[in-house]
Structures are given as structure tokens and as C-alpha cells.
């Protein structure tokens, strides 16, 4: 099949998906309205509008259009390389579990070496993304599908699979410092490590693995780089659509369903089976809503206290996958410091960008988004203390202190101590600066009086 034919087939599939899209009412938790059983509202791929009408009129719009064009050209070139270089389309399907389907010869060496170690916790996703020319998510997912033999088990069409994964990767916003395709690849690699945990691995079905990897890859697709409160206070249409509840997560899920249907990846399966898979994907992605953290954590803790988590039950395995995805989504503080620090800087850069927008348009600046008062160390210490550590303490219990879990907890404790030292240095520096500023007026009296002023940083972490 030529590249031109593939592109034309894709255009036809997209047109049909537009014609066949059915809209229904959906509850905030992702379940269907009983009046419309078996039907799911999907969103068109790339349907996310600009965040605010006032922002639409800024000079940044032209740059965004140009960036979008460059991404489309890059994807076309990437797909052409796949058509001409892939052994699959030449009829030479590799049978070894470690084979690479989608890499050009130039990348095979170093990228293949990295993929041979993809199950190790010190996997450097930033390096892997460079080696795969920005295609880390597609390459990683195809490799993992091959490792688990999911293509054969579900009789998937490799061209459709690549098309779907290409859509997912492209619909992450590369201009986001944090919520981009590299983050999705990082979460997917972490999810793979968790799926390999002995406590869990021996109980998982192929469907569990398929859903876990798919949810990890698509859990933040089309993320706009701002949070839910921002969408609510700017009266974004998605906030109204989802009644201000799990707005982003619902959009990530429905966009994923739209791409599944547009690509036709599951079209060969019975309708009831594909719809059930869509629903289960939704339940996994919706679990990443940070506002539901206490809900999931208390249920998980209760199961562990009562020792009644039975992984032979599909419902209990599904709940455990939800917890695993939540862990994968916030695991950055459990990585080695060199990787963890990069992610911390990226997420804070994204927070600060939102704060700058809010300041520019006279809105109240959201918590953690004020670059002048919310330091990176303070944000990270609060994040670790209130979100990450409570969750991973329970995961540590669940895995029965597995080697991976012990490694993660070791990194977490070291990173927390490192951030504490940096916050101390930051607040001490601020105190010194403030002291020097007031010395000329105070004639040198009480030079150390402002020492406690910075201690409140990060207290407002949710």
C-alpha cells in the first residue's frame, strides 16, 4: 500500500467518523445516561478551541498556526519513512518480542538498546525521545504491544494501530512544557514497570494490559496547558459540557474514543466488546483527576487494611489499574534526581505560564501559579507531602515492598530532602536580599529581623 493510498484511506475514515458521531448525555463519572445505553458521546480529534476569546486576538495566534503546520509536515514525513522503511509493509513481519517495527535504520542501534532496558526504573525518556526524533510515544507503544503480543491477541491492523498512535501523539501540545507527548510516554513507561510487578503481573489478562497501556498513553491527550479552575473561570465550553466536574479528564477520554473510532482500530471487534473497552478506558483516565485523590486513596487503604483485594476478580484488577495509573501519572518525584528535577521545572513553568495569562487579563492568579511567590522547591515539597507520598506509601504496601517499590521510595525520600535544602537556600537568599534593601534606612539596626518571612511558602498546596 502506498503512502498516498494510506493517507486517502485515512481521510475517508475521518469523514465517515464525522458522519457517524452520535451525541448523548453523560454523567460526570463517565457512566452513560440509562436512556442512551450502549451509545457514547465522542469528540472530534483536534476539536479543542483556544482557551479564551481575549487570548484568541493576541499575536501568538499566527505562531500557533505556523507551529501546527510544521507538526503536520513532520508527521507526514515520519509516516512516509514508516511506509518506505518498515519491514512490516514489505511483508517481513519480525517474530521476536524485542523487534522494532517503526524505527528507521539510523535509529535502530541506540533506540533498540534503550528499549531492551525499557522495564528499568532509570529509563531516560528525554534521551529516548531525541533518539526517536520526537516519536517516543508511538515507538514505545508499538514496542510494548509487541512485547505483550497484543497485536496478535486482538487481531489488530498495524497500519490502523500506527495511525491511531500517531493521532494521539500529534494531539498532545508540543508547546506545553509538561503536559505533552513526552509526559505521556513517561507515564506509559512507568505503567509498564508497574504491570510487571510480581503481585500484579501474574493476574493480568491481555485486556487488562491493553487498557492499562492505552490509558497511560492517552490520559492527557489534547491538554491545553491550563487547569480545570482556569477553564471554569474563563467559561470554557468544556467546563459547561462536563458541568465543571473532571473537565479535562472527560475531554481526554472522549477525544481518545473519537480517535479510536476515526482510526477504526477496534472496528473488527463485536460492538459490545469495543464499547466496553471504551468505557473501561474512560474509568481509568477519569481516575487521574487529582481532585478525586482522597476518594481513591481511602478505598485503596481500606482494601489493604482488610486484606480483601482479590486480583482474580476483574473489578478488583480494574481498580488496581486505576491506582497504578494514578501512581504513574505522579511518579516524577520517585525518579532519579536528574530526571525528577527536569519534570519539576517543566510543570512549574507550565503553572507560571497560566499565572502570567491570569495576570495579563486581570484575573485572580491560581494557587501555585504565581512565579513571584510560589517557588519550585516549595511547590514540589507540597506536592510530595500531600499527593505523592501518601499514594506511594500504600502502593509500597500493596507490592509487599518489592525491589522496584523500595527503589522508588528511596528516590522519593532523597528528592524530598533535596528540595527542602533548596527551599532553605531560596528563602535564606530572599531574606538576605530583603535585609540589604532595608539597611540604608534602618542604619544597620535589626539586620536579621525578616528571617522567618519565607517559611509559609507552599502552605496552600491542595
181 annotated to bind ligand: yes
**Is residue 179 annotated as a catalytic residue, yes or no?**
yes
- Asked if residue 151 lies in contact with residue 158, where contact means CB atoms within 8 angstroms, the answer is yes
d(CA 65, CA 422): 39
Cα dihedral: 292, 294, 296, 297 (round 10): 150
Is 222 exposed, middle or buried, given 0-12, 13-18 or 19+ CB atoms closer than 10 A? buried
The catalytic position among 143, 162, 173, 179 is 179
Residue 180 Cα distances to 129, 174, 432, angstroms = 12, 5, 38
d(CA 7, CA 168): 16
Name beta bridge partners: 26: 32
- Helix-helix angle 403-442:389-398, to 10 degrees: 160
393 annotated to bind ligand: no
Query: Could you tell me where the DSSP H helices lie in 227-270?
Result: 228-233, 237-241, 247-263
329 annotated to bind ligand: yes
374 annotated to bind ligand: no
d(CA 283, CA 299): 15
322 annotated to bind ligand: no
- Helix-helix angle 206-218:158-171, to 10 degrees: 30
252 annotated to bind ligand: no
380 annotated to bind ligand: yes
Task: Centre a 10 Å sphere on the Cβ of residue 15 and count the other Cβ atoms it contains.
Answer: 11
Full DSSP string of 397-441: HHTTS-HHHHHHHHHHHHHHHHHHHHHHHHHHHHHHHHHHHHHHH
d(CA 357, CA 55): 9
Q: List binding-site positions.
A: 179-183, 219-220, 329, 380
Q: List binding-site positions for Zn(2+).
A: 183, 219-220, 329
Catalytic sites, residue numbers: 179
Amino acid at each position: 500500500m502506498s503512502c498516498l493510498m494510506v493517507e486517502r484511506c485515512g481521510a475517508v475514515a475521518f469523514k465517515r467518523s464525522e458522519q457517524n458521531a452520535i451525541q448523548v448525555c453523560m454523567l460526570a463519572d463517565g457512566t452513560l445516561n440509562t436512556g442512551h445505553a450502549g451509545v457514547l458521546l465522542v469528540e472530534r480529534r483536534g476539536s479543542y478551541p483556544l482557551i479564551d476569546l481575549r487570548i484568541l486576538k493576541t499575536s501568538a495566534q499566527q505562531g500557533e498556526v505556523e507551529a501546527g503546520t510544521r507538526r503536520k509536515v513532520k508527521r507526514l514525513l515520519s509516516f512516509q519513512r514508516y511506509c518506505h522503511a518498515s519491514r512490516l509493509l514489505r511483508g517481513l513481519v519480525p517474530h521476536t518480542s524485542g523487534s522494532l517495527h517503526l524505527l528507521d535504520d539510523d535509529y535502530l542501534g541506540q533506540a533498540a538498546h534503550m528499549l531492551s532496558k525499557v522495564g528499568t526504573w532509570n529509563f531516560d525518556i528525554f534521551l529516548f525521545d531525541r533518539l526517536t526524533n520526537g516519536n517516543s510515544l508511538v515507538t514505545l507503544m508499538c514496542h510494548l504491544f509487541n512485547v505483550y503480543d497484543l497485536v496478535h491477541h486482538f487481531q489488530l491492523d498495524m497500519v490502523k494501530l500506527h495511525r491511531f498512535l500517531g493521532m494521539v501523539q500529534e494531539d498532545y501540545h508540543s508547546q506545553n512544557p509538561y503536559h505533552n507527548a513526552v509526559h505521556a510516554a513517561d507515564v506509559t513507561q512507568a505503567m509498564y514497570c508497574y504491570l510487571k510487578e510480581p503481585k500484579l503481573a501474574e493476574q493480568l489478562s491481555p485486556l487488562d494490559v491493553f487498557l492499562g497501556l492505552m490509558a497511560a498513553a492517552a490520559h492527557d491527550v489534547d491538554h491545553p496547558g491550563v487547569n480545570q479552575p482556569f477553564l471554569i473561570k474563563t467559561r470554557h465550553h468544556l467546563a459547561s459540557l462536563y458541568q465543571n466536574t473532571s473537565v479535562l479528564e472527560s475531554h481526554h477520554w472522549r477525544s481518545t474514543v473519537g480517535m479510536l473510532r476515526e482510526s477504526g482500530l477496534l472496528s473488527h471487534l463485536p460492538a459490545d466488546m469495543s464499547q466496553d473497552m471504551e468505557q473501561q478506558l474512560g474509568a481509568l483516565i477519569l481516575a487521574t483527576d487529582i481532585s478525586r485523590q482522597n476518594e481513591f486513596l481511602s478505598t485503596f487503604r481500606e482494601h489493604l487494611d482488610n486484606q480483601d483485594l482479590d486480583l482474580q476478580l476483574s473489578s478488583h484488577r480494574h481498580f488496581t489499574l486505576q491506582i497504578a495509573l494514578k501512581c504513574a501519572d505522579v511518579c516524577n518525584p520517585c525518579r532519579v534526581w536528574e530526571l525528577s528535577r527536569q519534570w519539576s521545572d517543566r510543570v512549574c513553568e507550565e503553572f507560571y505560564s497560566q499565572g502570567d495569562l491570569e495576570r495579563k487579563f486581570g484575573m485572580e492568579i491560581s494557587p501555585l501559579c504565581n512565579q513571584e511567590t510560589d517557588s519550585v522547591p516549595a511547590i514540589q515539597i507540597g506536592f510530595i507531602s500531600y499527593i505523592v507520598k501518601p499514594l506511594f506509601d500504600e502502593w509500597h504496601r500493596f507490592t509487599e515492598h518489592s525491589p522496584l517499590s523500595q527503589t522508588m521510595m528511596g528516590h522519593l525520600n532523597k528528592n524530598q530532602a533535596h528540595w527542602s535544602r533548596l527551599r532553605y537556600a531560596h528563602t535564606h537568599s530572599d531574606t538576605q536580599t530583603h535585609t540589604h534593601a532595608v539597611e540604608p534606612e534602618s542604619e544597620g539596626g535589626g539586620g536579621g529581623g525578616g528571617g522567618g518571612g519565607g517559611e509559609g511558602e507552599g502552605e496552600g498546596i491542595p
